Amino acid sequence: MIKNVLFVTLFAVVIAADAKKPCCGPTKFMAGNGASVGQVITDPDTNTSRSEGFFTYQYGAFDFERKMFGYNMSVTYPNGTSTLIRLIQNYAQKYQYIILDALQYCQKQQVTEPQPTNCIPNNATWQSSFRIGGAKGGSLFADSWTYKFVHPKDAVEGDIVANVFQDDCSPFSTTFIGDRFEGGRKVPLISMGGLLNLTSGIPHPEEWFTVPDFCPKEINSLTTNMARSASYLPDLEFFQLPLFF
């Protein structure tokens, strides 16, 4: 009996020492962030649905200390149609610029919530550990975490799986399965993405965070002709989600 209790106690200690704690990744880095997104769009008038898919790729500077993100972004449909924009997001001051450099077009808006984070949230559940890499070595060890987003607290509702390297908690892949919301209506959404070519630090912050002279000082809306011609601007709400975790 005593032996058993001892065994159970030891076992519990071993489990506790082994329990994985949510971690935080690098705070300042350059990286590419690519994602494949699929969604089901319903026309409220005809009540007919269609599915669509597209690829997004962002490359730029991610500064979680200053809460600033500056990157080029492309959105590409399978038919080859592609849109290129540049973003400067300032979450400390809650605004963002959407920039089309070629047209000298710039729009100042409220930032897109939720604010990206470099941490696995405390409510996440550790799922598994694994190794990635080929048979010849050069392996990296990783942890898989899952957690939920809940509407209306979060802009989307559903399940996230985030995989991070054990080494420094750098995220390398994220999957979201759930819904986004469009005026109270659910839009089923699946997205899979990840970071690549991550390098520590931001060697040229001015290149990514300097707001061009042609940008407005105040929040503006699509009013000018040029803006109207740029109204193919993507709906950032969901292109952005989930950026990291």
The residues of the shown chain that bind ligand NAG, judged by CB under 6 A, are 32, 52, 59, 72, 77, 79, 81, 86, 101, 121, 123, 147-150, 153-154, 196-197
In the complex, the smallest distance separating the C-beta of residue 226 from ligand NAG, rounded to whole angstroms, is 16
DSSP element (H, E) containing 238:
helix 236-239
In the complex, the smallest distance separating the C-beta of residue 1 from ligand NAG, rounded to whole angstroms, is 41
In the complex, the smallest distance separating the C-beta of residue 24 from ligand NAG, rounded to whole angstroms, is 13
**Residue 32 or 188 with smaller CB distance to ligand NAG:** 32
In the complex, the smallest distance separating the C-beta of residue 132 from ligand NAG, rounded to whole angstroms, is 17
Distance separating alpha carbons of residues 155 and 114, to the nearest angstrom: 7
**Residue 15 or 203 with smaller CB distance to ligand NAG:** 203
**Residue 31 or 142 with smaller CB distance to ligand NAG:** 31
In the complex, the smallest distance separating the C-beta of residue 200 from ligand NAG, rounded to whole angstroms, is 14
**Residue 124 or 142 with smaller CB distance to ligand NAG:** 124
Q: How far apart are the first and last CA of the chain?
A: 46
**Residue 22 or 142 with smaller CB distance to ligand NAG:** 22
**Residue 9 or 51 with smaller CB distance to ligand NAG:** 51
Question: Measured between alpha carbons, how far is residue 161 from residues 35, 143, 158 in Å?
Answer: 14, 10, 10
- Other C-beta atoms lying within 10 Å of the C-beta of residue 185: 10
Q: Are 109 and 96 in contact (CB under 8 A)?
A: yes
**Residue 9 or 199 with smaller CB distance to ligand NAG:** 199
DSSP strand E in 150-220: where? 156-165, 171-182, 185-200
Provide CB contacts within 8 A for 196, sequence distance 6+: 31, 32, 33, 34, 172
Q: Are 111 and 94 in contact (CB under 8 A)?
A: yes
In the complex, the smallest distance separating the C-beta of residue 84 from ligand NAG, rounded to whole angstroms, is 7
Question: Measured between alpha carbons, how far is residue 101 from residues 89, 183, 187, 219, 221 in Å?
Answer: 16, 31, 31, 18, 18
In the complex, the smallest distance separating the C-beta of residue 81 from ligand NAG, rounded to whole angstroms, is 4
Q: Computed from CA positions of residues 112, 79, 43, 190, in that sequence, does the dihedral angle turn out positive or negative?
A: negative
14-40 burial, b for 16+ CB within 10 Å, e for fewer? eeeeeebebbebbebbbbebebebebe
